[in-house]
Amino acid sequence: MPETTRRADRLPGTRYGNRPTMKDVAARAGVGLKTVSRVVNGEPGVTPDTERRVQEAIDALGFRRNDSARVLRKGRTASIGLVLEDLADPFYGPLSRAVEEVARAHGALLINGSSAEDPEREQELALALCARRVDGLVVIPAGDDHRYLEPEIRAGVATVFVDRPAGRIDADVVLSDNFGGARDGVAHLIAHGHRRIGFIGDMPRIHTAAERLRGYRAAMEDAGIAVEERWMSLGATNPERVRRAAEDMLAGPGPVTAVFTGNNRVTVTVIRVLAEQSRRVALVGFDDIELADLLQPGVTVVAQDSAALGRTAAERLFRQLDGTLVAPERIELPTRLITRGSGELPPAD
Amino acid sequence: MPETTRRADRLPGTRYGNRPTMKDVAARAGVGLKTVSRVVNGEPGVTPDTERRVQEAIDALGFRRNDSARVLRKGRTASIGLVLEDLADPFYGPLSRAVEEVARAHGALLINGSSAEDPEREQELALALCARRVDGLVVIPAGDDHRYLEPEIRAGVATVFVDRPAGRIDADVVLSDNFGGARDGVAHLIAHGHRRIGFIGDMPRIHTAAERLRGYRAAMEDAGIAVEERWMSLGATNPERVRRAAEDMLAGPGPVTAVFTGNNRVTVTVIRVLAEQSRRVALVGFDDIELADLLQPGVTVVAQDSAALGRTAAERLFRQLDGTLVAPERIELPTRLITRGSGELPPAD
DNA sequence: CTCGCATCTGACAACGTTGTCCAGGCTCTA
DNA sequence: TAGAGCCTGGACAACGTTGTCAGATGCGAG
């Protein structure tokens, strides 16, 4: 099969396996080094005939410009970094994709990494990206102290935080209205007659979790309901703990008649638990989930627009790079209550 | 608030805003350039006292090694590229994450980009990554001719294709058993008494779609069932077309009693359509979907392990870089039929 | 006290590209 | 035909790092 390449063809040994450089192209085309550079970059000042000869040499040698050298010379990498929690989480896919699209529109590549919710790993990753001299950084914080980025920001790395605010530095932040969204969601349950309402969320050291908890408390207080300690479960990170927490608050005397869940992962687990109950328990979840409308009953959620979060953050980042922006700002995007049935169930004591 | 940094502190003007270099560190510490390099890279041959002085200078200046220059000198970037179709697709999140974890274990960063199913964009992206001198490339092909990668592969860029095979070049490929999975899924429907079975899938120019279609045809043929043209819909890419296709094959004389869907997006749409039908129609879908078990009925699927695909591909890529591998190979991972109810419904004529 | 050796340090070139600047050849005009 | 001006092409330095190699320093042994 003459039309294929076998790996055995590859030149062994030397670095990059003897990749041709502009010098090689110049020699082959019989022109100067800079002339090749001009052709490659589409700069003016090359006669059509010379350009053709250079182009032929490029094609013949399979030359490809070395962007590392280019970056070293020019000082801009045309790439931005994205540090997020977990790409496998359905919440971050669209966000990442939105950031990528904006980057692409600005001719930049996106490098991303997952912090796995570990502050140390977040720092390690962010600094590795800075060492590559990304032009900017979009960070979904795992930690709560970002002073380690001070030298980078001072050195000109555009930085925007998303989903959670930065810790101890003054920087651009784009978030959802976690407090308001949670308060509205819980108020919705109260409006449908519930008073014993459970809350299952992430560790309060995570800003979004703390804000949503605050929203829950605010809604309850507004309604004059005293929250009992056992209605709340914080830091339920894995499905087993969420399950136990849900079962606990559904059992015993004075069980909850409704549950507010603090994020999509918790919601999914709680849906399973509720499906096993004989009694109908109301549910409102933070974050939308796919197929929520097809379940019985449909799942009422407080939805945030993760793509909009990413897009807004990335656009702001490039405006920093343009020099258009000066003062860091905190942008809060609204959430949307989507009623589908589960949040409208009446209390079943 | 003395503990925060304001962007206004940033030095204006010069490239990178005056980022300190090893030279600056050396000057401040009163040592030679190479000594700084040694400290930064943890090379031996530096007295503790000197090391301390250098470290102090590094901290004082906020120095961070410029990896672009390092790459230029060393020839390895310790980064790999991933070209996939759409990060927002739940199928690719875990795959990407798996690749990232393997890369991380090898001390490499992951740069990824979405091709949006456009061959031209795939090529553009892959070559941009090569220009950055990534050490390797994991590609989920959108196009069917990858000869443009020949010079790169020859130059030593490790390359692995995932999910779909490479076109016109001989390279490592990791895929799911699309043919077998689809055949088993359709056979499962036949075993439950169905004979008029619909197939809704992607454009057959996409390898996975073609294979799954082939599996459908094989299962039908094995059972001695002549497939009617109007039972098949190929190239239904957006929800509207899928919906129409499903409605068409469910209407008219001799409607299908079961549907096999070719990917997760199609499955989701078809679930919606079936939910509106008065008659119970059986369904088996390719790709698992979240909450499939909680629907009424649960959705029977042919599941592929996207994380395993990513992990296998990345591991193979690093083995190429180790020099452990020689001959390109085609690795096929098995799929798994998960029965949840929708695929076990009897025909309702 | 001096030599030799081991240890530590630094000068220098090179990586591949781009920006600056100058040389040479051409055209056009007087 | 000579001079001015324009256009094209190329020599050279610089970007920040690392590998090479030779010099400096200190210590112990003879």
pLDDT tens digits along B165-211: 999 999 999 999 999 999 999 999 999 999 999 999 999 988 999 99
Per-residue pLDDT at A75: 86
Can you tell me the distance from the alpha carbon of B164 to that of A315, in angstroms, rounded to the nearest whole number? 34
Q: Which CATH architecture has domain A178-304?
A: 3-Layer(aba) Sandwich (3.40)
Q: Is A304 exposed, middle or buried (0-12, 13-18, 19+ CB in 10 A)?
A: buried
Near strand D (CB < 7 A), which residues? A 26, 30-35, 44-47, 49-50, 69, 72-73; B 15-16, 19, 21-23, 33-34, 37, 40-41, 63, 65-66, 69-70, 72-74
Q: Who contacts A331 (Cβ-Cβ below 8 Å, separation ≥6)?
A: A172, A173, A174, A175, A312, A316
Dihedral, CA atoms, A277, A283, A288, A293, nearest 10 degrees?
A: 70
pLDDT tens digits, residue range A177-187?
999 999 999 99
Nucleotides of D under 7 A from a protein CB: 7-12, 14-20
Closest residue of A to B66, CA-based? A131
In the block, which residue shows the tokens 């784009």?
A: A174
Q: Who contacts A121 (Cβ-Cβ below 8 Å, separation ≥6)?
A: A115, A142
Closest residue of B to A91, CA-based? B88
CA end-to-end span of chain B: 74
Can you tell me the distance from the alpha carbon of A162 to that of A85, in angstroms, rounded to the nearest whole number? 11
Per-residue pLDDT at A13: 33
* The pair of three-digit structure tokens given for residue A60, joined into one six-digit string: 């013949």
Distances (CA, A) of B131 to A339, B76, B83, B155: 49, 12, 14, 12
Beta bridge partners of A337: A302
Per-residue pLDDT at B18: 73
Q: Is the dihedral of CA A151, B39, B108, A6 positive or negative?
A: positive
Q: Is A44 exposed, middle or buried (0-12, 13-18, 19+ CB in 10 A)?
A: exposed
Q: How confident is the model at residue A320 (pLDDT cuts 50, 70, 90)?
A: very high
Give the A:B interface size as CB pairs under 8 Å. 223
Closest residue of B to A90, CA-based? B90
In this structure, chain A runs to a length of 349
Q: Is residue B76 a contact partner of residue B54, using CB atoms and an 8 Å limit?
A: no
Model confidence at A297: pLDDT above 50: yes
Q: How confident is the model at residue B13 (pLDDT cuts 50, 70, 90)?
A: very low
Domain limits, chain A: 7-65, 76-176+306-334, 178-304
Dihedral, CA atoms, B169, B174, B180, B181, nearest 10 degrees?
A: -130
Can you tell me the distance from the alpha carbon of A336 to that of A184, in angstroms, rounded to the nearest whole number? 9
Dihedral, CA atoms, A275, A281, A287, A290, nearest 10 degrees?
A: 30
CA end-to-end span of chain A: 74
- Pairing assessment for the beta strands A158-162 and B330-333 based on DSSP bridges: unpaired
Average pLDDT of chain A? 91
Can you tell me the distance from the alpha carbon of A150 to that of B7, in angstroms, rounded to the nearest whole number? 9
pLDDT tens digits, residue range B313-342?
999 999 999 888 779 999 999 999 999 999
C1' (C14) to CA (B132) span, angstroms = 20
Per-residue pLDDT at B17: 53
Average pLDDT over residues A255-266: 96
Could you confirm whether domain B7-65 is CATH 1.10.260.40? yes
Q: Is residue B161 a contact partner of residue B140, using CB atoms and an 8 Å limit?
A: yes
Q: How confident is the model at residue A319 (pLDDT cuts 50, 70, 90)?
A: very high
Interchain proximity B155–A19, CB inside 8 Å: yes
Could you confirm whether domain B78-176+306-330 is CATH 3.40.50.2300? yes
The reply to whether the CB atom of residue A65 sits less than 7 A from any atom in nucleic acid chain C is: yes
C1' (C18) to CA (A55) span, angstroms = 19
Average pLDDT over residues A291-318: 95
Per-residue pLDDT at B236: 81
pLDDT tens digits, residue range A113-133?
899 989 999 999 999 999 999
Average pLDDT over residues B42-59: 91
Model confidence at B15: pLDDT above 60: no
Model confidence at A223: pLDDT above 60: yes
Distances (CA, A) of B63 to B5, B170, B264: 17, 45, 48
Q: How confident is the model at residue B45 (pLDDT cuts 50, 70, 90)?
A: confident
Q: Assign a CATH topology to domain A76-176+306-334.
A: Rossmann fold (3.40.50)
Interchain proximity B170–A17, CB inside 8 Å: no
A16 Rama class: left (phi>0) / alpha (psi -120 to 50) / beta: left
Average pLDDT of chain B? 91
Model confidence at B8: pLDDT above 50: no
- A197 vs A349, residue with greater confidence: A197
Q: Which CATH number applies to B178-305: 3.40.50.2300, 3.40.190.10, 3.40.710.10, 1.50.10.10? A: 3.40.50.2300
Can you tell me the distance from the alpha carbon of A64 to that of A68, in angstroms, rounded to the nearest whole number? 12
> For residue A15, which residues of chain B lie inside 8 Å, CB to CB?
74-76
Q: Is residue B65 a contact partner of residue B78, using CB atoms and an 8 Å limit?
A: no
Average pLDDT over residues A216-239: 95
> For residue B18, which residues of chain A lie inside 8 Å, CB to CB?
155
Average pLDDT over residues A15-37: 85
Per-residue pLDDT at A253: 86
Per-residue pLDDT at A325: 74
Per-residue pLDDT at B14: 35
Q: Who contacts B48 (Cβ-Cβ below 8 Å, separation ≥6)?
A: none
pLDDT tens digits, residue range B122-149?
999 999 999 999 999 999 999 999 999 9
Model confidence at A104: pLDDT above 50: yes
DSSP 8-state code for residue A68: H
Helix, coil or strand: residue B199: strand
C1' (D7) to CA (A35) span, angstroms = 14
Comparing A210-214, B249-253, B300-304, which segment has the lowest mean pLDDT?
Answer: B249-253
> For residue A275, which residues of chain B lie inside 8 Å, CB to CB?
294
* The pair of three-digit structure tokens given for residue A35, joined into one six-digit string: 């002339």
pLDDT tens digits, residue range B74-119?
988 999 999 999 988 889 999 999 999 999 999 999 998 899 989 9
Picking from B82, B132, B317 by the largest number of A CB atoms within 10 A of its own CB, the best residue to mutate is B132
Equal CATH topology for B7-65 and B178-305: no
Model confidence at B237: pLDDT above 90: no
Per-residue pLDDT at B325: 74
> For residue B327, which residues of chain A lie inside 8 Å, CB to CB?
7-8
Average pLDDT over residues B233-247: 93
pLDDT tens digits, residue range B212-222?
999 999 999 99
Per-residue pLDDT at B105: 94
Model confidence at A10: pLDDT above 70: no
Closest residue of B to A64, CA-based? B131
